[in-house]
Amino acid sequence: MNKSRVGVLLLNFGGPETLDDVKPFLYNLFADPEVIRLPSIIREPLARLIAMLRHNQSRGYYEKIGGGSPLRRITEQQGEALKAALEKQGYDVRIYIGMQCWHPFIEEAVRQIINDRLTHLVVLPLFPQFSVTTTGACLAKFNKQVKKRPEWPVVKQAVIEHWYDYPLYIQSLADMIQENLEKFPPGVVAKVHLLFSAHSIPQKYVDRGDPYAEQTRQTVERILDRLERRNPYHLAFQSRLGPVRWLQPSTDQMIKQLGREEVDHVLAIPISFVSEHVETLYEIDLLYQNMAREAGISDFRRVPAPNCHPGFIQALARLVEEKLATFHLTPASVHP
């Protein structure tokens, strides 16, 4: 009986791993036609200019979090944990990692899949909520790379475009929030304000039909249902860049507002992030922590990103299992 070679491709944005990587990473980011939708004659010189102007500032951020982004390392750990979880269900799959703007690039993962003569593939972008700026950009680059390769071996492929409301994902986040709420003094737990902070996108994308903002709100609402809505909460958006209008309210504005309302206890929750990187380690842990202190918030804490939390990995594994079921494969038919 012919054996099937099955794999899971994890897609993410990537991040500079050393300080020397910061400038070329910035160029890759702003020169990417799936990220910056301008003609190449404008986009590429603009990318060089932005990389030059922002290099020192961005390098300073990465210096403060250890000299580089941990995104690749954590994604590799997530892949290993996902593989182990699937093996428990009898599936011996290969895990591939493809990054939009840094190594290992999506095209590197495509070459490896070809070399391994994969027959079945599940594509899992590590963005719970769909946006054309994240999942859409990664899938567009993946599809372009595949079309360039007539030797592409995959005969059956499934894509998980979003999982913002997947019950196991929601439960894993609710569990993590509850674990961190219980670390507050017992008398203040009910007073802790839950500050959900999601990566922002330009408002114009939402106006054109991008579902990201609404899916993010739905994620928050489902988590609150699991937590029985015992705590006051707010949803805000971080990581704005440039003069265009972004989603509101911004996280920094919300922190200042909570300070004016004399809120003492805040638990920040990085809701659209599945691994630690500069937006959590620098922006929330350092920048917003200082901002909260200046605003008069005496107790500002954060829920870790899901990383390899067992409940989160189980959610990813179940998502993949459901797609594998559509291939009508049995564990015995899968070749390692």
pLDDT digits (tens, 9 = 90+) for 10-29: 999 999 999 999 999 999 88
For the cut 80, the answer to whether the pLDDT of residue 37 exceeds it is: no
- Whether 2 has a pLDDT exceeding 70, the answer reads no
Question: Nearest 5 degrees, angle CA 83-CA 274-CA 118?
Answer: 35
Percent of the chain with pLDDT over 90: 86
pTM score: 0.95
Same CATH topology for 4-163+311-335 and 167-302: the answer is: yes
Mean pLDDT, residues 296-305 taken together:
98
Query: Nearest CA to 16 among 97, 98, 99?
Result: 99
For the chain, the domains span 4-163+311-335, 167-302
pLDDT, average across residues 180-184? 97
- Residue-level pLDDT at 213: 98
Confidence of residue 333 (pLDDT cuts 50, 70, 90): low
Q: How far is CA 179 from CA 170, 188, 197, 302, 304, in A?
A: 14, 15, 18, 11, 11
Phi-psi group of 146: left, alpha or beta (phi > 0 → left; psi -120 to 50 → alpha; rest → beta)? alpha
Looking at residue 3, its pLDDT comes to: 77
Average pLDDT over residues 26-50: 84
Mean pLDDT of 261-265: 97
Taking residues 22-38, report their average pLDDT. Answer: 85
* pLDDT confidence of residue 328: 87
Q: Is it the case that residue 132 has pLDDT exceeding 80?
A: yes
Position 1 confidence tier, pLDDT thresholds 50, 70, 90: very low
Q: Are 262 and 296 in contact (CB under 8 A)?
A: yes
- Confirm or reject CATH 3.40.50.300 for domain 4-163+311-335, answering yes or no: no
d(CA 72, CA 89) in angstroms, rounded, equals 26
For residue 69, pLDDT beyond 70: yes
Indicate the CATH number of 167-302 among 3.40.1350.10, 3.40.50.1400, 3.60.15.10, 3.90.420.10. Answer: 3.40.50.1400
pLDDT of residue 23: 95
pLDDT average, residue stretch 186-208: 96
pLDDT for res 31: 85
Mean pLDDT of the chain: 94
Question: What average pLDDT does this structure show over 33-58?
Answer: 85
Q: What are phi and psi of 200, to 5 degrees?
A: -80, 160
What number of residues does the chain have?
336
